[in-house]
Amino acid sequence: MNVIESIESKFLFSKKIENYSFIQDSEGKLLAFSENERGNKVVLTKDLDGVEVAIEHCIDGTKIFHLEKDSKGLPAMHEFKPDGTEIIYLFDKDKKLEKAVTSKTNGDKLTEWFSSKGDLISQEQRQNGQILFKIDALNGDACVLLHPDGEAESYGDEKFILHLIKVFNKYLDGLEL
């Protein structure tokens, strides 16, 4: 199972959730409780807008919020790790992973875009002012590291470096190979 499939398989609303125990709160809202195949405890409810939400309490202390749909109407998953790292996973209408945004406690932020072909493009904004742009494709890879002073380093396949320059033109306009 690749990374994308692994993340997609963690999303609770991608499959039918079974073996619930139900209770009703004092306002008449139903709460459902379950334990998934990984041994994690899951609470299912609906938010104020009626959107289904599942809160997964993992054995390692991670908490994962599964949203049937976010503010854009698409499925999402928000993971809070014990070390303070937060990861937001955004899915398409077919519950396929499109994007992940990781915020680390040191201030670094990694944004990853996943293609249906298995390619990955990422932008990592580092607390030290560097920005790393990367593409990992099935037929090659490339990386451009932009330093705070505007200098840049690159390696990898030239066509992928050119693609990174095009995609991240806002940051890499004028970059020479």
Model pLDDT for residues 142-158, shown as the tens digit of each residue: 999 999 998 999 999 99
Residue 26 amino acid letter: S
Q: Which helix (H) or strand (E) holds 155?
A: strand 152-156
Model pLDDT for residues 2-43, shown as the tens digit of each residue: 788 889 988 988 877 667 788 887 877 778 898 888 889 999
Q: What was the pLDDT predicted at 1? A: 61
Q: 90 forms bridges with which residues in the sheet?
A: 76, 99
What CA–CA distance (Å, rounded) separates 80 from 88? 9
The fraction of the chain above a pLDDT of 70, given in percent, is 97
Contact of 153 with 131, CB cutoff 8 Å:
no
Contact of 55 with 63, CB cutoff 8 Å:
yes
Q: What was the pLDDT predicted at 104? A: 96
pTM of the model: 0.88
Q: What was the pLDDT predicted at 50? A: 80
Q: How many helices (H) and strands (E) does the chain have?
A: 3, 13
Total count of residues recorded for the chain:
177
